[in-house]
Structures are given as C-alpha cells and as structure tokens.
Amino acid sequence: MTKTKSAGYVTPPVFAQLAKLWGVKVKKGRIDVPPAYGTGYCAGCVFNENIRMLILNYRLNEETIIGNPEINTPGKTILFKFQHIDAGPRSKQSPSVLIATSRFNTDAVISIQENTSSVNIEVGSQYLEELFTLSRKSPVLQSLAENAQPLLFEQMMSPAIQKILHDIISESVADNFRWVFRKIKAEELICMLLMKLEERQEKQLYPLKGSDVQAIYDIKARLLSRLDEPPVISDLAIAANMSATKLRTLFKQIFGDSIFDLYQQYRMQEAARLLKEGKLSVSEVGYQLGFSNLSHFSRVFEAHIGMKPKKFSISH
C-alpha cells in the first residue's frame, strides 16, 4: 500500500524542468505557478508503471519553451490528450481529444502554452490490451494496441467526458481520496474514448508523417475560418499539396468524419452559438453562415442540434 501511494507522487520529468525554470519545488506531484509567471497549477500522478496522468490548468504571462526530457524514452505508449476543456463559447477551439501512438513524432522541445486547461493520460500499449478486450473487428483499436506505426486521431468530447474532466481539474475531491479518484477516472475516460473509436469505420489505416498532419490541420483551420463557404475539395487539395483522394482519406482517418461532415458540424455549432447570443434572428444567422434557403438551414440545424433553430432560439 505504501509503495502504491508513493508511486502516485513520482515527479514527471517535465515537471522537474518547469520547477527548475520557475524556481519552485514540486510537492506531491504538483507545481503551483509562481505569481511572477502567471496563475494556476500543474499536477501529475503515476498510478503504476503503465499509466500516468498530467493535469495542466494555468494562465501564463508568456509562452514558455523547454526541452523535452523524454524524447528518447523507450517503450510503447498511447497518449490521450484532452485539450481545450474550458474553451469558451467564443473560442475557435472546441474541446477535443487527441489520441496518438508513441510512433508518432515526438518533439525535441515542448511549448508550454500561455493559457491551457488540459489533461494528458499516457498508457502502455500492453496494459491497454490487458485492461480492455479490444475488438479484433476494429482496425483503429487494433492499430492502437499494436502501436507499430505513427497514428493520430482526434475525437470531439462528449458532455459526459467534459463533466469528468471538470471534476478532475477543479480538485473537488478531498486530498486523501484524490489519487484513487484520478486513477478511476483515468481508466473511465480511456474506456469512453475506446468505445467511440470502435465506432469508426476505417478498414485500413495509413502511417502519418508530421508534414501531412500539419497540412490536414491547416485545412481544418481553413474550414473553421470560412464557415459561410462550403468546402471545394479540389481547392483544398491544392492548398494541402496532396491529391484529393489522399486528403479525403487522411482527413477522415484523423477526425473520423469527412471534410464536409465536419464542416457542417462546426457550422451548426456556430449557428447555435449565434442564436444563444440572441443578437441575430434565425434568418440572419442562416444567411451569415452561407444558407440562401432558410428551410434547408432549418433542416440541417435540426439534424445536428436536435430542434429547429426558431425553437432553439426561444428556449435559449
């Protein structure tokens, strides 16, 4: 019991780097950001040799760059990065989860963002297979378990996942229960993510290069910046410097949705945000997002949000 409890307060190497930079000590796996550098905290738990959690919840006065102390660490691990947890309604960053194999490129330096609310869970590939009976019918789960090629997936967060993450970050649990609480919640979050990934239909997965991933994310950013313009695949392929087929394939592999489906999803989220603000009418929101036919806007909105825009506007 003593060994397990002490293991929970093993200091992650990146925390040692930050503590040295900020001139503070790591206490029970936690660093409080000094006022001279910002506000908030970082916390870490090593539950056992196969699973650990890093909690980052702070606002810094400026971005910080440190060397990655684990760039050459051997072993196969899967990273679950729950990011933008507290993204506000005006933020262009939606709460999402990145799932990456250890074969994916590891940066030599780590950029500590000025404002972040995220939780990272790292799990050994073998432990993942022992913890869950991964479906042999799911190429996505099989590829994660094998961890033999560089892969990256992004999954939008459900409200249930966001609730768990808020409970973790807010530290609402008493200190004497916190370590066990975090361990249970870490495994619950992993289970929920694997259930979502199992729903993906990809039959074949392609190893990813860093340049291709950057190109795909640039395309996503372009979609979000032009929600009033339906995507034209041929134009996007030219911008990404890849064939239309490759663009479609890698985009769907990473995000689990086609380019148009993801575009429409974000488009309707923006419509819902604008209607909640109450400054624009339903027709004005529709026109602002590029709909010339308001009946079509109403049907698309209802399909994504669950009710017609006029009813949504009144109820919010």
CA-closest candidate to residue 122, choices 84, 58, 70: 70
**What's the rounded mean pLDDT across residues 187-205?**
90
pTM over 0.95: no
Q: 256 near 200, Cβ under 8 Å? A: yes
pLDDT value of residue 170: 87
Mean pLDDT of the chain: 86
Q: Name the amino acid, one letter, at 149.
A: Q
- Reading the block at residue 106, the tokens are 């590891």
Residue 8 clears pLDDT 60, i.e. is over it:
no
Buried-exposed string 176-214: b where 16+ CB fall within 10 A, e elsewhere: eebbebbbebbbebbebbbebbeebebeebeebeeebbe
Strand 96-101 relative to strand 77-83, pairing = antiparallel
Lowest mean pLDDT among 72-81, 99-108, 135-144: 99-108
Residue 106 clears pLDDT 60, i.e. is over it:
no
What is the rounded end-to-end Cα distance, in angstroms, of the chain?
50
Backbone angles phi, psi at 66, to 5 degrees: -130, 160
